[in-house]
Every structure is written in C-alpha cells, then in structure tokens.
Amino acid sequence: MIKTTVIILSLIFAASAAHAQERPYFVTYSHEMEEPGNLEVESYNVMGQPPGGNLFFGSTLEFEYGVKAWWTSEFYLDGQSTQNESTIFTGFRWENRIRPLLREHVVNPVIYVEYENISADKALREVVGHDGAADLTTPNGEARPDVARELELKLILGTNWRGWNFSENFINEKNLLGGPWEFGYAWAVSRPLALAASSRPCNFCREKFQAGVEMYGGLGDANGFGLHETSHYIGPTINWSAPGNATLSFSPQFGVNDYSVPHLYRFGVSYEIDQFLSRLRKEGR
Amino acid sequence: MKILPMQCGSGLRSAMAKPAISTFRVIALLLAAAFCAFAAADGAWLTKVPAKDHARQNPYHGKEDAVAAGQRIFLDHCAQCHGEDANGTKKRPPLRSERVQQQATEGDIHWLLVNGNMKKGMPSWAKLPDQQLWQVTTYVRSLHE
C-alpha cells in the first residue's frame, strides 16, 4: 500500500510536461476528450451563502482518464463544509463520455452517462429540476441521511470556430429511488486570449489564458417543465495554463433570480499526467 | 500527389469463384487479404482527406518563428506519444517518415490534427486554435530538412 502510494506520488511530481488546454468551464462540458492514456487530477471548489443559511464550501476531487480517443471516464469524490455545522464526505460519481462521431464537425455531439451516490451535496456540479438556494439551507445533519442514487444523462454539443469554443449541455437526471426526471441546461463560450503560440517560452503570455462566459440552470421536471421555481447562474470565467502541468481556473457567478444563491465563487486546479498507466508499469518494475 | 487505397480483393473474388481450391491457395489468399487490410489501415487516413483540405496552404510555411512556436506546442502535446525527437515510440508512428514528410501535404497534416484518427488512438486537436495547428504543421515539416 505504501509502495503504491509512493509510486503514484512520484508519478504526479515527476510527470513530464503535458500541458492541458482546458476550457475554463466549471459546470459545462465541452466535446473535447481527455487524450488517451492521460490522467487528469482536478479539484473544483465552490463557495457561497444562501439567504438565511450558512456559508458553505463544496469540493470535488476528480480523476479523469482517457480510455480511448473517443471515450473518457471520470471518477469523482465529493465533500462539503458548512460554517457552524460540519465537514462531510457527500458521495461519489462515475461518468463516461463517448463521442459517437469520430471526426470534427460543425456541431460535435457527445453522450454522457453518470451514476451518482450522494447526499447533502453542495458541490453544485449541475443544477436540475427545481434545485434552489433553499435546498442549501437544510442542515447537514438532516440532509445527510437522504441519499440519492441518480442516473444522469447529458447531451453535450460543441463547436470550435476561429478559436472560439461554444458548448451546450442538455441534462436529464433521475433519482433511481423515486421521483420524476429532472432537467437542466448549461452553456458556455470561451476563447484563448491569443490564437497563435509565442515562439519563446513564456508563462504569462496571452495564449496561456482562456476567458469566457458560462451559464447554467434548471428546467423543471417531468411534472412541470419550464423555468417556474428554477435557479440560474451566469458569470465570467478564466483559466491559466500554469507551469508544471497545472491549470488554474476561477469564476465569480451570479444568481439571476430570487430562487438562486446570490453569489457563487468557483475555483479549480487541475494537473495532467501523461501516459499514466505506462508510467505506472515502468515505476512498478 | 494523392495516395489511393490499395486495390485489394479482386484476386480474392476471382479465386473464390473457382469450385476447387487447394488449401495452400486459400491460406495464401487469406494472408494476402490480411496484408492488404493492414497496409490499407496503416496510413489510410491520407485517402480520407477531402480535396479542399488536401490543397490548403499553410499560412506559416517556411517562417522561422512558426517553427520555434510549433516545436513548443509539439513538446507540450505531441512528444508524449511521438517522442521528443519525433521518431515515434513503441506504439505510435514516427513523424520523420516518408509518408508524413513527402506523401502528405501540409493541408493533409493540418486535417489530421483537426480530426484525429480516433480509431487508431490519435485524438482530435481541434481544441487548439487553427493558428497553433498550422504552427505544429510547420514544425513537423521542418524535420526533414
């Protein structure tokens, strides 16, 4: 066990440069897959305070692996901490993304399938149905026993055009323990600050930054589709491809109606290890 | 010059039409068919490039700055599979080959970077801006010089 841990840690710190060209999105998925054989370790976090509730900090640790050039698999561990309450592990998720069309088109679809086993979730990785600020005021002690085993399906559509990326997600989620199908959406647009790469090594040149806008929200459920009693968020977003294989992302987001949390602050760090399994085998010898 | 797929299969069809075939001939034909399939798959992407993309001109052709920038992008994204010297690795092909350096046009290489060859493990690099894909193309084509 100790040997395995040492090997994995040495891989993380000794991985050669595989600079991720990540989109600066927190909720929206683009159609771009993880490169085959690469493992990306990501920590995405959100901070906010619902009206009448306590300040919370939701966090997700993600392990994203490129199984094939057209298939990416990702495992998530979720947790949250709420001021004056507790810090808890809230569950796990496992998702797979498959790209059915093997060439680049004007609009590129990706099929997303996820299984979630979560309770008292405050990571806000998606907003569906009638999710709103009031849900986030339930004390952890009351929310935790209410475990949701959910199936989430997404249709991801993506377009790259003249350096711009346009991504749209249509979300369908069903609690397998009961309840109707819930719906949601997310969209985002982004662009690197410079399209051509500099001929000299640099850490802060413009092509290392991407900026854009992201918006997401609920669309009701099978019993009442629409915008009634749904929450929505919008905000600018930016990331920086830092030296040492890391990408740092930040986005302040604003609730656009009274049903939403007024402000959310999202930030993330991701780190890519190229050809993870090959390196693991070599290190293990 | 556009590379055409190998004309495999006609020999197999005519042989199969005869009523009596020796075991040796059947094995020889199966081996030939397998070789044709392998040969067609290796580099078959070149036959799929549309004429418009095949003929595209590289806006950075011959520019020294683009070679340097392309090398940086190559080391960041491509070297992990194709090797830092672009001589290939155990499972991934070299980029100094005759196919890449002479048979393919710069438009072909750009098309491959945009679309990938996902069945063979080559991802799409459309996430990079077009300018950077042309810079990588410029660098790759500079390797034969």
Query: Same domain, yes or no, for B54 and B108?
Result: yes
- Kindly state the tokens that stand for A158: 């993506």
Chain B residues with CB under 8 Å of A190 CB are none
ipTM topping 0.85: yes
For the CA atoms of A193, A195, A196, A200, the dihedral, rounded to the nearest 10 degrees, stands at 20
- Residue B110, domain CATH: 1.10.760.10
- Of A271, A272, A279, residue with least CA distance to A7: A279
Q: Which residues of B touch A (CB under 8 A)?
A: 65-66, 68-70, 72-73, 75-77, 80-81, 114-119, 121-124, 126-132, 135
Q: Is B63 part of any domain?
A: yes
Cβ atoms of A192 and A198 within 8 Å: the answer is no
**What digits encode the pLDDT tens for the residues B37-82?**
444 445 789 999 999 999 999 999 999 999 999 999 999 999 989 9
Q: Is B55 part of any domain?
A: yes
Query: Same domain, yes or no, for B103 and B68?
Result: yes
Stated as kind and residue range, the H or E segment containing A44 is strand A39-48
pLDDT for position A4: 53
Q: What is the CATH number of domain A2-284?
A: 2.40.160.40
Query: Same domain, yes or no, for B67 and B108?
Result: yes
**What digits encode the pLDDT tens for the residues A133-168?**
999 999 999 999 999 999 999 999 999 999 999 999
**What digits encode the pLDDT tens for the residues A166-202?**
999 999 999 999 999 999 999 999 999 999 999 999 9
Alpha-carbon distance of A127 to B125, in angstroms, equals 30
pLDDT for position B28: 67
Considering CB atoms only, which of A16, A160, A197 is closest to B127? A160
Domain that holds residue B131: 46-142
**What digits encode the pLDDT tens for the residues A204-253?**
999 999 999 999 999 999 999 999 999 999 999 999 999 988 999 999 99
Query: Same domain, yes or no, for B97 and B67?
Result: yes
- Cβ of A275 within 8 Å of Cβ of B80? The answer is yes
Alpha-carbon distance of B104 to B62, in angstroms, equals 16
Query: Same domain, yes or no, for B27 and B78?
Result: no
**Please, what is the average pLDDT of chain A?**
93
Q: Is B119 part of any domain?
A: yes
- Would you give the DSSP letter of residue B61? T
Q: Cα–chain-centroid distance for residue A134?
A: 23
Give chain B's domain count.
Answer: 2
Q: Is B3 part of any domain?
A: no
Res B3 pLDDT > 70: no
Query: Same domain, yes or no, for B86 and B117?
Result: yes
Q: Is B113 part of any domain?
A: yes
Query: Same domain, yes or no, for B87 and B28?
Result: no
Query: Same domain, yes or no, for B137 and B66?
Result: yes
